[in-house]
A and B are shown apart, each in its own frame.
Chain A
Amino acid sequence: MLQVEGLIKSFDDFMAVNGANLTVGKGEIVAVIGPNGAGKTTLFNLVTGALKRDKGRIVFKGEDISELPPYEICKKGISRSYQIVNIFPRLTVFENVQVAVFSYQGRSSNLFRPAQGIAVNETKSILESMGLSNKAKSIAGSLSHGDQKILEIAIALGNDPELLILDEPTAGMSPEETQDTMELVKQLANQRGLTILFCEHDMDIVFSVAQSIMVMRHGQTIIQGSLDEVRSNKEVQEAYLGGE
């Protein structure tokens, strides 16, 4: 579904991504791991169009998307959540998700119908599946950090994506919240037939959720393979897993 080939991106002299390769098949859950500064977030920014790549190809469903702006890429079926909470703080939780649904349904430029009555069911069902129903009327900026991270994912679902990219979905969460969130992500993948690409620091989570793992170091892909392949790879053990 998604192929990334020989991706390169530099900031001035710093090679943030220097030869990344990635394959995500339909319905798969793929994790990207690597030490801090390995280029994981930059890779996600390149795939979603937030940054422009210097070299390489990003192909989604057979189409080269590496030149498209973020809003076009989103319309192709890729949604994302952010590592650092990135929501609409002055809108209610409901409106946060609803805005994404408007966009998906092509109704954002509707000027004269009250928003209250549009896309309500779609929005409600997303909030319900994320366990946010009882906070629908709260102002998003007033939620706890954990809830805001959940809302992050809920907004991304508003576009009914085929590929969902989660950038450290559990960053800053307590261990229990982390557990719950990853359960939720797995459920989503099952129920909605989502393909998921995520990155995460907690190795236990990665190895319990992911079906395929891509390892990055210094902006470069070391290996992508099944859990066992990655676990037994010498280079990965030296670089990251501490040579067990």
Chain B
Amino acid sequence: MSSLFQGRVFSNGVSEERKDLLRDVIRSKRFVLVAGILIVLFILPLFAPRFFVYIIALIYVTALLAMSLNMVVGYGGLFQFHHAVFYGVGAYAVALMLTKTSLPMWIGFIVGPIAAAITGLIIGWFCVRLTKLYFGMLQISLGSLIWAIVYRWYSFTGGDDGIHGIHMPAFLSSLNSSYYFILIIFVICLIVMYMILKSPFGNTLQAIRDNSQRCEAVGINVKRYQLLGIVVATFFAGVAGVLFVVLEKSVFAEMLFWVLSLEIFIMCLLGGWFTFAGPILGAAITVALRTFVGRYTEYWTLILGVMLILVIFFLPEGVMGFFQQLLKPGTKEVTERGKG
């Protein structure tokens, strides 16, 4: 070991510079890649069929939901088992506002995420008192409580019928305009989430995931930061809920059901816990499977299940994690060398 690191010290000046240069090129390449993808996504509605545009928009919404979950699961290490509740709360908040009040639409768009974050604060306040599985179990119970209220309160929420035909202002009435609205909000959310995860708070959250005991010993009030993480994540889940209403113009109680929570959990696992963009990939795979395989058989989850088993066995870091390792062979090498 020591000889290895000594070698590094020796050639430090040159190799470090070269590495930085290389990294800049990779970064700029990545930038070009992202910009290219964005341009394609922006001109997509010009030539793609309507159904395809709709599916891509649905992927944005689902991906935002999965990424908000991954903030607390992948980066925070919390067993956030019932994340769909906050998505549902966000969606119902805006749907109820638009149908029951005459307040302007944009207030609803703000109220949705805030309602989700407040729900996250309340449920999280109880949950952070517990750890690991107990955290998850309590969250499922409290979340299911909210689902039950929405499901049963016919006079207010429409019960299992949900709320349909929500009236949107003119500029969001066509599919293409809602596609652009969703894409823009999605991109803004991605940037903000990225910033948060790269901030001191993001690093602290990851440190808590890695070792909460040690965090307490360096002066971090672990429960408080976990709660803050939950509030931030549920806020973005609420944004996803609002975007769903923009796309579908309806809400239903299944949005708060635990099955959806499990699905988005699987998306994170599939795409890769420890990567930023992994959940987007996971969401895309899941939505595509549900749409295109679900057309032929209702048992499309069977294929999802098999894929999940394969991923767990062969790509434990998820699909995105696997590609990252392929592109950056250095990281793996270091891990192996360090063990030696």
What residues of chain A have their CB less than 8 Å away from a CB belonging to chain B? 48-50, 69-71, 74-75, 79-80, 82, 86-91, 95-96, 98-100, 102-104, 107-116, 118-119, 134-135, 138-139, 141-144, 146-147, 155-156, 158-159
Contacts and interface: CB of A to CB of B under 8 A. Distances in A.
B198 interface: yes
Contacts of B146: none
A38 to B, nearest CB: 22
A141 B325 CA distance: 16
A235 B196 CA distance: 58
B338 A91 contact: no
Contacts of A115: 198-200, 202-203
B217 A70 contact: yes
Interface of B: 1, 5, 8-9, 12, 195-196, 198-204, 206-207, 209-211, 213-222, 225, 228, 232, 274, 331, 334-335, 337-339
A104 to B, nearest CB: 6
Contacts, number: 135
Nearest to A152: B214
B228 A109 contact: yes
A144 B1 contact: yes
B78 to A, nearest CB: 15
A80 B198 CA distance: 27
Question: Ordered nearest first, which 8 A-B pairs have the shortest CB separation?
Answer: A142-B338, A74-B219, A88-B210, A70-B216, A100-B218, A99-B207, A103-B219, A108-B204
A241 to B, nearest CB: 32
B211 A142 contact: no
Nearest to B194: A114
Given A74-B216, A103-B220, 16 more contacts: A70-B216, A71-B219, A96-B207, A99-B203, A99-B204, A103-B218, A104-B218, A109-B200, A110-B200, A111-B199, A112-B195, A116-B198, A118-B200, A139-B338, A142-B335, A142-B337
A41 B167 CA distance: 65
Contact of A139 (B211, B215, B334): B334
Contacts of B225: 108-109
B216 A88 contact: no
8 contacts: A48-B217, A88-B210, A95-B207, A100-B218, A103-B215, A108-B200, A114-B195, A115-B198
B276 to A, nearest CB: 14
Nearest to A48: B217
Contacts of B338: 138-139, 141-144
A158 B210 contact: no
A109 B199 CA distance: 9
B218 A159 contact: yes
Contacts of A146: 1
Contact of B218 (A113, A141, A158): A158
A83 B12 CA distance: 32
B200 A102 contact: yes
Contact of A71 (B201, B220, B331): B220
A118 B200 CA distance: 8
A100 B218 CA distance: 6
Given A70-B217, A114-B198, A138 B203 contact: no
Contacts of A107: 200
B331 A90 contact: no
Nearest to B232: A111
A102 B331 CA distance: 26
Nearest to B228: A109
Contacts of B211: 86-89
B217 A88 contact: no
Contact of B199 (A95, A112, A143, A147): A112
Contacts of A108: 200-201, 204, 220, 225
Nearest to A176: B2
A89 B210 contact: yes
Contacts of A88: 206-207, 210-211, 214
A99 B208 CA distance: 10
Contacts of B216: 49-50, 69-71, 74
Contacts of A80: 217
A79 B203 contact: no
A60 to B, nearest CB: 14
A91 B213 contact: no
A138 B216 CA distance: 24
A134 B335 contact: no
Nearest to B216: A70
A115 B207 CA distance: 13
Nearest to B204: A108
Contacts of B5: 134-135
A69 B9 CA distance: 41
Contacts of A48: 217
B207 A91 contact: yes
A95 B218 CA distance: 13
A144 B336 CA distance: 11
A53 to B, nearest CB: 17
Contacts of A49: 216
Contacts of B339: 142
Nearest to A95: B203
Contact of B222 (A71, A79, A98, A118): A71
A9 to B, nearest CB: 18
Contacts of A156: 217-218
